[in-house]
Amino acid sequence: MLDKTHATPGFNGPGYDYDYLVQDDRVHQSLYTDPAIFTAEMTHIFGAVWVYLAHESQIPKNDDFITARLGLRPIIVLRDSDGVIRALYNRCTHRGTTLCRLEKGSAHVFRCPYHGWTFNNTGKLRNVPWPDGYATDFKDSKFNVAQVPRVESYRGFIFGTLNLDAPSLSDYLGPVKGPIDEWLDRHPGGKVAICEANRLNYRGNWKLAYDNSCDGYHVVFSHRSLLDMENRLVDEADKGMSFYKGKPDQAPMYMKYFGHGHHYKDKRPNMEIKPGAMWAIEGPHPGMEHYEAELRRRLGSRADEALDLASSEPVNINVFPNFSILGNHIQVFEPLSVNETNAVWYGTAVVDDEGIWGDSLPLINALRMRTQEGFPNFGEVDDLANFEEIQRGLGAFEDEWVYMHRGMDIPGRITTDEHGVIKAPATDEMFMREYIKEWKRLMQTEPNIQIKREP
Ligand code: FES
Ligand SMILES: [Fe+2]
């Protein structure tokens, strides 16, 4: 039997037929391989929706800044000298070079490394060297640095959008705020601080990571060596990701789709609800033993609670298009080109403003950091290898379709509640089909993109 192929069907240019490229059960390989689609995504996705930029704990004081990305746009996220959080374009208004090449720091002015124009951290031009060589007084706002017009935080997580027609951040997040709240509220004071990052990069499209972020189907196959290792290191084989062994769809864990591309995997129903339950399933990494012993010695009956704070919460919370909370990590996807992406894992630390844990807090956070070293080192590498091999496989471009129909058309398997939240078993591809429908809607919608400058 021969297949007619539409691999190069004249979709080039503005006439992309997204109804053809995204079908109910499958998507066209060009979503992952076509540079023109990637370029359109930088406006229709990364310009149009709320994109995660940074966490407030990374810029705790006035004048603190970090550099980040909004799609391909280099950005400086900062707290200006009056405490206002802004996302400046990291782009000099003279000839366009980046103004700041550091990852983070503190500065009330930015001086361009090229010709020395200086800007206040509000973005306003402050000084131009040898101004008598110019016939302008530089009062025109066009010389002030461009900035993201809408920047909002949700409980410390800072997002920005260029789209004046986007809903409020709170409405954009919608019901995914529920799992985010639960994730934060298990910490003292309902907050965390972001730690340094484990910066990974893969040669593949950014959506391959988002497609995988709730995928419970691959775990026992792709992460087999990790599961084997975890089980070798303990007496009873019931650690780490062992939820997925046997028949994972018969376990009480589930996935949910919340709209706007956001989705969630909740593995907590597999656990008992009691102090120490999270620690009991934590994958054992050699070298953690003395932390546990010391916390038990110091804290006695409160030790289980402390050990749970150091354990990875078994949830995956995914906020479209670039932000995930997994275990104790947050992960940020940074598209670099149609076939290259950064996948950056940030650890998080317990913040204990009220001193509940006293001088045991550093020990809890040290153990928490040890648990957080595990997955990016031993699990994420499996995922990145998959993403790179998918990208390579899709180079066989006449074979056009990528299927995501697991769970489809099976009566009673997928349910939708009165709020429109869709629920499915843990290994379904429901979340992929739903978020890619939203992707298609956005690619077919013209956003109202604007930039802002100080007057
Ligand atoms: S490019 Fe910045 S001062 Fe010239
Ligand atoms: Fe994985």
Ligand 1 atom nearest to CA at 115: 3
Ligand 1 atom nearest to CA at 92: 2
Which range among 35-44, 69-78, 202-211, 236-245 shows the weakest confidence by mean pLDDT? 236-245
The sheet carrying 254-259 orders its strands as 192-202, 340-350, 329-337, 323-326, 315-319, 262-266, 254-259, 422-425, 415-416
Q: Could you tell me the pTM of the whole model?
A: 0.95
Q: Which residue has the tokens 């390579």?
A: 392
pLDDT of residue 14: 42
- Residue 240: is its pLDDT beyond 80? no
CA 318, 323, 324 angle in degrees (round to 5)? 45
pLDDT of residue 281: 87
Task: Tell me what the mean pLDDT of segment 83-101 comes to.
Answer: 98
The CA distance from 75 to 78, in Å, is 9
The CA distance from 65 to 98, in Å, is 14
Q: How many CB atoms lie within 10 A of CB 438?
A: 18
Percentage of the chain beyond pLDDT 90 is 84
333 with 343: CB under 8 angstroms? yes
Question: What residues have CB less than 8 Å from 99, skipping those under 6 apart?
Answer: 76, 88, 90, 91, 92, 110, 111, 112, 113, 119, 145
Q: Which CATH number, 3.40.605.10, 2.102.10.10, 1.10.357.10, 1.20.1050.10, labels domain 51-154?
A: 2.102.10.10
Bridging pattern class, strands 422-425 and 415-416: antiparallel
Q: Which residues pair with 315 in a beta bridge?
A: 266
Please tell me the residue having the least CA distance from ligand 1 atom 4: 115
255 with 424: CB under 8 angstroms? yes
Report CA(441)–ligand 1 centroid distance (Å).
39
Class of domain 174-441: alpha beta
313 with 375: CB under 8 angstroms? no
Q: What is the pLDDT of residues 318-358, one digit of tens each?
A: 999 999 999 999 999 999 999 999 999 999 999 999 999 99
**Main-chain dihedrals φ then ψ at residue 421, nearest 5 degrees:** -75, 130
Q: What is the pLDDT of residues 278-299, one digit of tens each?
A: 998 887 778 888 999 999 999 9
For ligand 1, mutation pick of 89, 91, 92 (most atoms within 8 Å of CB): 92
Ligand 1 atom nearest to CA at 128: 3
Report CA(136)–ligand 1 centroid distance (Å).
16
**Main-chain dihedrals φ then ψ at residue 415, nearest 5 degrees:** -125, 155
What is the domain partition of the chain in residue ranges?
51-154, 174-441
Distances, alpha carbon 161 to alpha carbons 151, 281, 448, in Å: 7, 39, 10
- Residue 63: is its pLDDT beyond 60? yes
Q: What is the pLDDT of residues 4-52, one digit of tens each?
A: 666 554 444 445 889 999 999 999 999 999 999 999 999 999 999 999 9
Question: What residues have CB less than 8 Å from 224, skipping those under 6 apart?
Answer: none
Question: Which of 228-237, 281-290, 381-390 has the highest average model confidence (pLDDT)?
Answer: 381-390
Task: Tell me what the mean pLDDT of segment 114-140 comes to.
Answer: 97
The CA distance from 292 to 450, in Å, is 52
143 with 426: CB under 8 angstroms? no
pLDDT of residue 242: 78
For ligand 1, mutation pick of 112, 125, 128, 143 (most atoms within 8 Å of CB): 112
Protein residues whose CB sits closer than 6 Å to any atom of ligand 1: 92, 94-95, 97, 112, 114-117
pLDDT of residue 98: 98
Amino acid at 58: Q
Pick the residue with more confidence: 80 or 378? 80
Q: How many CB atoms lie within 10 A of CB 121?
A: 25
Closest CA to 295 of 217, 359, 379: 359
Percentage of the chain beyond pLDDT 70 is 96
Report CA(110)–ligand 1 centroid distance (Å).
11
Q: What is the SS3 string spanning the chain?
A: CCCCCCCCCCCCCCCCCHHHHECCCEEECHHHHCHHHHHHHHHHCCCCCCEEEEEHHHCCCCCEEEEEEECCEEEEEEECCCCCEEEEECCCCCCCCCCCCCCEEECCEEECCCCCCEEECCCCEEECCCHHHCCCCCCCHHHCCCECCEEEEECCEEEEECECCCCCHHHHHHHHHHHHHHHHHCCHHHCEEEEEEEEEEECCCHHHHHHHCCCCCCHHHHCHHHHHHHHHCCCCCCCCCHHHCCCHHHCCCEEEEEECCEEEEECHHHCCCCCCHHHHHCCCCCCCHHHHHHHHHHHHHHHHHHHHHCCCCCEEEEECCCEEEECCEEEEEEEEECCEEEEEEEEEEECCCCCCCHHHHHHHHHHHHHHHHHHHHHCHHHHHHHHHHHHHHCCCCCCCEEECCCCCCCCCCCEECCCCCEEEECCCCHHHHHHHHHHHHHHCCCCCECCECCC
Kindly state the tokens that stand for 450: 């604007």
